[in-house]
Structure 1
Amino acid sequence: MTTPEDLTAIAALTDQVRRNAYRAVAEARPAPIGRDEVAGALGIGRSLAAFHLDKLVDAGLLEVSYARRSGRTGPGAGRPAKLYHLSAAEHAVSVPPRSYRTAASLLAEALDRIGGDEAVEKVAREHGRRAGLAALDSYEPDYADERVVLRNCPFHQLAEQFPPLICGMNLALVSGLVEGSEWEARMDAAPGRCCVILSKKQSD
């Protein structure tokens, strides 16, 4: 069900500069980012960047932490910098109100109870094969030389409720998405990102 908080969060992203600021913070994950980095990425002034970042905090889309970027401590180390990172809260707007998340949770619980892991993973792999590599974009992949970190978990809330079922499904899905490519999927859970990463296939 859409809440007032959901509407506030979505409304905050109608401004183009604010939307770009949110994207800059998202792309910096998992590290927090300061207003100077956002200002540089967007080509705007520091004060304007801070204004939009704080509006995103007010809307519940970002959270704030403080740290000394120099790594120095004690007298003379300077004031801690204000840093921004994505909020763990999720927001969705549906008009008229729909509750697909509730349905997904009920189905996941039913499958979990009857031990439907194998069937779920088979269907997920088949779906991944049909969708293909382009569908990996929803995971916000961060490509490096030998591996790809998937910064976003599209099934975050369900994965927290039913970890073995949903993470197993996710691994099968991603395996299907990258089938036939130079990448292979494996489980490598870590906070703040998808539980699956990709690594380059070893040549024979």
Structure 2
Amino acid sequence: MNPTQQQASLSEAGRLTAVASLGDPVRRKLFELLRESPLALSRDDCAEALELPKSTIRAHLDRLVSDGLLLVEFRKVGERTGPGSGRPTKLYTVAVDEVAASVPARHYDLAAELLAAAVQLSIDSSVAVEDTLADVAFDAGKRLGAEAGTIHKLLESAGYDPQPDGAGGTIMANCPFHKLSQEHAGVVCSLNGSLLNGALLGCGDCRHTIEPDAELSHCCARLVPKTT
């Protein structure tokens, strides 16, 4: 989802891959080294810092890049420039500040952002927080829907696990805010409904509507075709 611009670039599958990649102790140390460094580092810098062979470091850096955890840039380092100053150095920086994944998909970070933004807006505007939460979640849904293109792509990427209900509609077999909804159903389900209605508008979907779903085994909302 969108806790930060960078984290949003990893899909749910990408986050799972990233977590698996960091299960290797060398790659984890490399990622932490680069995350804490104020400057991009070269392979030689990393090898020296971790006291490991350059060949070992290169293989792990390549894996972290392929898994979406690192970015690469080529730049000449040092004071010498121009002809004869040597080839640009391959440098590495982190692509994401942190990595989290869950099975099934959960997005408590998104809920926290929306709730915090709604409270701040309520304080600034003196509008009731339930109203600001609806507005903030709806606007976030519009943005996410526009990015996804279709409501079904949004539901898949956001971890709702959309499944046909056998009657032309779609149930959401997973709730991305499951634990929160167990203790704060009124707040979380209201947030979720506003988010999904905003997503419909954002992706330009005029064929479906969001309706409540009382089945406790999955999400509190259902996607159904419009009847008129």
Give a deviation string over 1:47-76, Cα, whole Å, max 9, x none.
Answer: 211111111111111111111122322110
1:27 alignment partner, one of 20, 27, 36: 36
3-state SS of paired residue (1:115) = helix
State the shift of 1:96 in Å. 2.9
Q: Structure 1 counterpart of 2:59, which letter?
A: F
1:98 alignment partner, one of 103, 106, 125: 106
TM-score (norm 1): 0.52
Largest Rg, 1 or 2: 2
2:76 alignment partner, one of 49, 58, 68: 68
User: How many pairs were matched up?
Assistant: 119
Give a deviation string over 1:12-62, Cα, whole Å, max 9, x none.
Answer: 11111111111221232x211111111112221112111111111111111
3-state SS of paired residue (2:115) = helix
Say whether the 8 Å CA contact 2:12–2:105 is kept in structure 1.
Answer: no
Superposition map of 1:115-126 within 5 A = 115=123
Superposition map of 1:18-167 within 5 A = 18-28=27-37, 30-88=38-96, 90-115=98-123
Tell me which stretches of 4 or more aligned residues in structure 1 moved more than 4 Å: none
Identical columns (%): 44
Cα distance in structure 1, aligned partners of 2:45 and 2:60: 13
TM-score (norm 2): 0.47
Cα distance in structure 1, aligned partners of 2:16 and 2:33: 22
Cα distance in structure 2, aligned partners of 1:86 and 1:79: 23
State the shift of 1:112 in Å. 2.5
3-state SS of paired residue (2:99) = coil
3-state SS of paired residue (2:74) = strand
Say whether the 8 Å CA contact 1:36–1:46 is kept in structure 2.
Answer: yes
State the shift of 1:89 in Å. 6.3
Give a deviation string over 1:162-185, Cα, whole Å, max 9, x none.
Answer: xxxxxxxxxxxxxxxxxxxxxxxx
Instruction: Return closer, same or farther for 1:106/1:26 CA change in 2, 3 Å cut-off.
Output: closer
